[in-house]
Amino acid sequence: MTTEPGAFEFRDYQCFTFERRNRVLTATINRPEAMNAVNARLHEEFSRLFTDLAMDPDSDVVVLTGAGRAFCAGGDINWMQEHIDVPGEFERTGLEAKRIVFSQLDLEKPLICRLNGHATGLGATIALMCDIIIASDKAKIGDPHVSVGLVAGDGGAVIWPQLIGFARAKEFLLTGDLLTAPEAVQIGLINRAVAPERLDDEVYALADRLAGGATKAIRWTKTATNIALKQLAHSMMDACIGYESMSNLTEDHREAVAAFREKRKPAFTGR
């Protein structure tokens, strides 16, 4: 691969790196020291990433992955504390959250998730909003928003039921339990789980195949397939973000963040 920017440059990104392989562009979440957890900077960059990917004239297929051991470990706990301390900051976060979901679903280029490691919370949502998810069989995926006293409002409530049905989706969203990648394949949540040493071969064989296909037919087939999902997302995201914003103000969320930082089990009171 090469890091040459080509005709289009991805400017002002601190939390992503970009590599090109012919007409395939790989975008890598690059906070490996924090297991690629989402802080304010990464969240803002995600809110414009998919729009910039759409505008890049030198790629026909995008691979999204994470640096290091994880794909994306959800929200950074220090960022959660900032929202507790200054609740008004959640207004900007909510606007960005909608942009992330809407722009990801608007991206016409095929988007392959190279799930190199664990994906939780927002990380799981972004992975599952990709078109095809190929995972290391050592990875786990789940949406543990409720485990930190938050509503799964960043898109998890939108995408999980569409992939595995309402009964299964509610079990995992209401418990926050994680699935192994092979379990996720078995229930139809993701496409494939392969040995880590085979991950690149599987991902880039598919990416190269799509890049060598009929570009417009592939893009517009994806666009047509996404219509119902885009309609659903636009009908739900305002309420989802509103409920998550309210849960940010609860005592249970405050307790969960404190417990995480103190390395103890939270004592929820329902308030």
What does pLDDT average to in each consecutive run of 10 residues of the chain (271 residues)? 56 96 97 98 98 97 98 96 95 97 98 98 98 98 98 98 98 98 98 98 98 98 98 98 98 97 96 97
What is the distance between the alpha carbons of residues 227 and 136, in angstroms, rounded to a whole number? 29
Instruction: Please give the pLDDT value at position 1.
Output: 40
Which residues, at least 6 apart from 162, have a Cβ–Cβ distance to it below 8 Å? 229, 232
Query: Side chain identity at 198, as an amino acid letter?
Result: R
Report pLDDT for 3. 44
pLDDT at 2: 44
Give the neighbor-by-neighbor strand order of the sheet with 111-115. 16-21, 24-29, 61-66, 111-115, 132-136, 192-194
Show the beta-strand stretches assigned E in 178-244.
178-180, 192-194
Distance of CA 225 to the CA centre of its chain: 19
CA distances from 35 to 32, 201, 260 (A): 5, 23, 16
User: What is the model's pLDDT at position 5?
Assistant: 45
Q: Are 148 and 80 in contact (CB under 8 A)?
A: yes
Distance of CA 171 to the CA centre of its chain: 20
